[in-house]
């Protein structure tokens, strides 16, 4: 069965289903000269689909996706090669069948999908549903964020699978170690200041920030207000606002009018989506200087790099010193599969106190991909001193945990390999 023999909607169902089955975070549809290639991002690795699509069908997929995310195809067509279009979240309903979840090895998914009516259909030709439509108990809602970038010839589509249910995890379940609870509480109990959560794209910054704030809310019942673009994880405990630059003036929410409108709402803690440029980071800095504990994310690999990055964006050194109180840096590395990991006798000699460490089995098993299954968080925590230039000598800080000690603990817990511990830390 070739992809081209199915119609575009059937193909979309197959792709979404594969995404769910692989536990993929992203789906990429890349047009090439002769055909269109499909890729999945699983645990930060790219997996190519063995099937390729006809470019004509890929273009139909593009139109279906844009239409179903509320975008305007006619406008989108105007956009030239370098434009980046970010469209709102789309909702679809999938009915998960246990046999598909459990047997990840041999099933030919396409054939199963053709035989069984796997996906919930609202009507004959579409499985997209209105947000308002009631979700039945045996169904789950999956959200995707769609981005289409146009190339001189063709386009590339990135579809990020947003796992809203993560909001219920505790920090410990996310992988923050019990022995670091004290420093985490110290960060959460800071009366004011800026807290930066940094990491690469896909390192789970949004999940961590949301869990941090949810934890604060549950322990202290503080009023938490978020301003995001768009809202990534909905949480009933927060007052969440989305950047809205269109429509009538009184309904507009922008980073620049944020101070006058939302700060009057008297929040205790503020989450400001992603700091991408000087404007957004300055919004966070000024919110923190008005006496609010302010959280935001930034693209940087580690604590040291974060301060360089801020200076590079154009923030002044004194502004960093007066506002920045804490940096949480994180990265995700593939997690060993518990089902097939094997003892690593060779590297045992590097480990103090005879503890068993593990490595991946090269073949893997039916529960994993080449010996790894899921991701493990490795983090770095720093509380900076108020208004002090010591902030630039991170290593001397009293409240500082580095990635190496976190990774070593995870190595002893059998979650990562010695090679990852030695080579993969950023
Ligand atoms: Zn395995």
Structural domain spans, the chain: 3-162, 166-423
Ligand 1: centre distance to CA 137 (Å): 31
394, 380 Cβ separation under 8 angstroms: no
3-162 fold:
Beta-Lactamase (3.30.450)
Q: With CA atoms as reference, report the closest residue to 295 among 326, 259, 266.
A: 326
Q: Compute the distance between CA of residue 127 and CA of residue 15 in angstroms, rounded to an integer.
A: 13
Concatenating the DSSP letter of every residue in 178-190 gives GGGHHHHHHHHT-
Kindly list the distances between the CA atom of residue 261 and the CA atoms of 231, 249, 264, 289, in Å, as whole numbers in the listed order: 18, 12, 6, 17
Ligand 1: centre distance to CA 49 (Å): 21
Q: Determine whether 96 is exposed, middle or buried from the number of CB atoms within 10 Å of its CB (0-12, 13-18, 19+).
A: middle
The architecture CATH gives domain 166-423: 3-Layer(aba) Sandwich (3.40)
Ligand 1: centre distance to CA 342 (Å): 10
Ligand 1: centre distance to CA 52 (Å): 28
Q: Which two tokens stand for residue 340?
A: 């097939």
Confidence at residue 69, expressed as pLDDT on a 0 to 100 scale: 65
Ligand 1: centre distance to CA 165 (Å): 25
Ligand 1: centre distance to CA 290 (Å): 51
Ligand 1: centre distance to CA 417 (Å): 14
Ligand 1: centre distance to CA 332 (Å): 18
Ligand 1: centre distance to CA 101 (Å): 15
Ligand 1: centre distance to CA 55 (Å): 36
Confidence at residue 390, expressed as pLDDT on a 0 to 100 scale: 56
Ligand 1: centre distance to CA 343 (Å): 13
Ligand 1: centre distance to CA 93 (Å): 29
Ligand 1: centre distance to CA 361 (Å): 7
Ligand 1: centre distance to CA 373 (Å): 7
Q: Compute the distance between CA of residue 412 and CA of residue 242 in angstroms, rounded to an integer.
A: 42
Q: Which two tokens stand for residue 250?
A: 């009184």
- Per-residue exposure over 324-360, b if at least 16 CB sit within 10 Å of its own CB, e if not: bbbbbbbbbbbbbbeebbeebeebeeeeeeeeebbbb
Ligand 1: centre distance to CA 374 (Å): 11
- Tens-of-pLDDT digits for all 426 residues of the chain? 455 556 677 777 778 777 776 778 888 999 998 888 999 887 767 888 877 888 888 888 888 777 766 665 555 543 333 333 434 344 444 433 333 343 333 234 443 443 333 333 333 233 333 333 343 434 445 567 777 877 778 888 888 776 654 446 789 989 999 999 999 999 999 999 999 999 988 788 988 999 999 999 988 889 999 988 877 777 888 888 888 777 777 777 888 777 777 778 889 999 998 888 898 899 999 999 988 999 999 999 998 899 999 999 999 989 998 999 999 999 999 999 999 999 999 999 999 887 899 999 988 887 777 888 888 999 999 998 776 655 556 655 678 999 999 999 999 999 999 999 999 988
Q: Compute the distance between CA of residue 128 and CA of residue 383 in angstroms, rounded to an integer.
A: 46
Kindly list the distances between the CA atom of residue 334 and the CA atoms of 18, 338, 380, 391, in Å, as whole numbers in the listed order: 20, 12, 17, 31
Ligand 1: centre distance to CA 43 (Å): 14
Ligand 1: centre distance to CA 363 (Å): 8
Q: Determine whether 114 is exposed, middle or buried from the number of CB atoms within 10 Å of its CB (0-12, 13-18, 19+).
A: middle
Q: Angle at CA 339, nearest 5°, toward 336 and 342?
A: 65
Ligand 1: centre distance to CA 360 (Å): 8
Ligand 1: centre distance to CA 359 (Å): 11
Ligand 1: centre distance to CA 365 (Å): 4
pTM over 0.75, yes/no = no
Does residue 143 come out as left (phi exceeding 0), alpha (psi in the -120 to 50 range) or beta? beta
Confidence at residue 326, expressed as pLDDT on a 0 to 100 scale: 94
């Amino acid at each position: 069965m070739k992809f081209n023999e199915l119609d575009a909607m059937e193909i979309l169902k197959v792709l979404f289903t594969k995404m769910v089955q692989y536990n993929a975070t992203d789906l990429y549809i890349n047009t090439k000269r002769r055909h269109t290639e499909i890729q999945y991002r699983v645990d930060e690795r790219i997996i190519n689909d063995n099937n390729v699509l006809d470019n004509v069908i890929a273009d139909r997929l593009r139109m279906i996706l844009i239409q179903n995310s509320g975008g305007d195809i006619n406008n989108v067509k105007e956009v030239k090669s370098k434009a980046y279009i970010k469209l709102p979240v789309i909702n679809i309903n999938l009915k998960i069948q246990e046999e598909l979840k459990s047997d990840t090895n041999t099933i030919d998914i396409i054939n199963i999908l053709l035989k069984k009516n796997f996906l919930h259909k609202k009507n004959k030709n579409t499985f997209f549903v209105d947000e308002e439509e009631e979700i039945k108990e045996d169904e789950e809602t999956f959200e995707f964020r769609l981005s289409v970038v146009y190339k001189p010839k063709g386009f590339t589509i990135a579809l990020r699978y947003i796992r809203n249910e993560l909001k219920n995890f505790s920090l410990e379940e996310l992988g923050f170690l019990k022995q670091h609870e004290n420093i985490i509480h110290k960060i959460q109990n800071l009366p004011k200041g800026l807290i930066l959560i940094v990491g690469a794209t896909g390192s789970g910054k949004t999940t961590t920030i949301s869990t941090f704030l949810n934890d604060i809310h549950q322990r202290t019942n503080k009023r938490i207000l978020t301003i995001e673009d768009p809202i990534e994880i909905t949480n009933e405990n927060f007052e969440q606002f989305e950047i809205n630059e269109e429509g009538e003036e009184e309904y507009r929410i922008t980073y620049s009018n944020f101070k006058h409108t939302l700060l009057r709402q008297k929040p205790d803690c503020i989450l400001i989506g992603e700091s991408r440029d000087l404007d957004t980071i300055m919004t966070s800095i000024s919110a923190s200087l008005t006496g609010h504990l302010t959280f935001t994310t930034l693209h940087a690999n580690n604590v040291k790099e974060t301060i360089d990055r801020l200076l590079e964006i154009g923030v002044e050194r004194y502004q960093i010193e007066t506002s920045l109180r804490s940096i949480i840096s994180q990265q995700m590395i593939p997690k060993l599969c518990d089902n097939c990991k094997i003892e690593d006798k060779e590297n045992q000699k590097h480990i103090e106190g005879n503890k068993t460490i593990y490595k991946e089995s090269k073949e893997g098993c039916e529960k994993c991909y080449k010996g790894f299954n899921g991701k493990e968080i490795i983090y770095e925590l720093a509380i900076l001193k108020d208004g002090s230039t010591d902030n630039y000598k991170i290593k001397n800080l009293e409240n500082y945990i580095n990635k190496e000690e976190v990774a070593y603990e995870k190595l002893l817990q059998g979650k990562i390999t010695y090679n990852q511990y030695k080579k993969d830390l950023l």
